[in-house]
Amino acid sequence: MFSRTLFKLTALYLGIMMAICIIFSVPIYQLSVNELNHSLRLPEPVFDILRNEEDYDSSVRKQVAQEYQQLYQHAKKRILNRLVLVNFIILVGGGFVSYYLAKRTLLPIEEAHESMKRFTADASHELRTPITAMQTENEVALMDSKLTLAAAKDQLKSNMEELSKLTLLTEGLLRLARLEGGDLPKEKISVNLIAEQAIENIVVVASKKDIKFKKALKTKDSVHGDSASLVEAVVILLDNAIKYSPKSSFVNVQTLHERGSALLKVTDKGPGIGKVDQEKIFERFYRGDASRTKSAAGGYGLGLAIAKNIVTAHGGSITVSSRVGKGSTFTIKLPAA
């Protein structure tokens, strides 16, 4: 599909380029011919002699006129040939330039299309898994003629679990789609306030694992952005820190200023993340250790992708530094307002 579009776009660019060249070539040719007429005009005394039949033999007159005519035609032809040659060179060179320009124009569209294709494939794969599980379990239950009320209730409970996973997944997908499409509202907000609000939103979840937050909010920086989205990004980091931290541990939340940027760091004493995983965890649907993550934490690998999208939409970046067995630090860097 893209090769045909590339061909069409190249042809369009080349067409435009050639149309401009031809539009310019016509007046250039006319101007050159005018100039030629002007410079090849016979000097007045020669004209006088030629006009006077008695002074000059008509054959000499004819010959001179013919030679001038030939000279004139020859010069005209040369101008035309040169212009055709220049246009031909532009056609060939322009072909390459047009191809290059068309490729550059299509590249971001092609990348977006590829990513959309991957996204749809990943999303449908993730959606299919709980749906298939529910379908199979329900079919088995329905075929059981001795199905008791207790077993039916168990089945319904299991269905509810799968449904809540599906809800979580579709909410994450919707959030990602919205973030990729729209513009976020911008207001001036303090980085410390973002950290405080995120902690407030997740403190109940943390208390269930007896996890406490240690705050070191050391910057007066503000940032331009959508506070709800930025709080959401920090909540994702805190939620992960809680998920992967041992019970009764501390999660550190730090804010600081560094060369024109506001930094927000979340550090946990969890299992840490290996080097290979560190490069991939911000991708959609990527889960570090599938068995551990799925059973213990039950995530879909969308959290960090959402956080990254939020932060990059604010002109910032999100990074991780981690040592296996020691814990992880996630850093959000935003341009200070």
Positions touching ligand ADP (CB under 6 A) are: 240-241, 244, 268, 270-271, 273, 281, 286-289, 293, 297, 299-305, 328
| CB nearer ligand ADP, residue 229 or residue 328 | 328
| CB nearer ligand ADP, residue 209 or residue 287 | 287
Minimum distance from residue 302 beta carbon to ligand ADP (Å): 6
Contacts of 103 (CB under 8 A, 6+ apart): 6
Minimum distance from residue 283 beta carbon to ligand ADP (Å): 8
| CB nearer ligand ADP, residue 202 or residue 302 | 302
Q: How does strand 222-225 pair with strand 187-190?
A: antiparallel
| CB nearer ligand ADP, residue 191 or residue 237 | 237
| CB nearer ligand ADP, residue 13 or residue 286 | 286
Q: Residue 196 and residue 245: Cα distance in Å, rounded?
A: 20
Minimum distance from residue 18 beta carbon to ligand ADP (Å): 51
Minimum distance from residue 113 beta carbon to ligand ADP (Å): 24
Taking CB atoms within 8 Å and a gap of at least 24, the contacts of 110-113 are 110/2, 113/2
Contact between 270 and 244 under an 8 Å Cβ cutoff? The reply is yes
| CB nearer ligand ADP, residue 232 or residue 268 | 268
Q: Residue 192 and residue 218: Cα distance in Å, rounded?
A: 8
Minimum distance from residue 317 beta carbon to ligand ADP (Å): 16
Q: Residue 309 and residue 318: Cα distance in Å, rounded?
A: 9
Place of tokens 């490069």: 279
Contacts of 124 (CB under 8 A, 6+ apart): none
Q: In a 3-state reduction of DSSP, which class is residue 198?
A: helix
Minimum distance from residue 212 beta carbon to ligand ADP (Å): 16
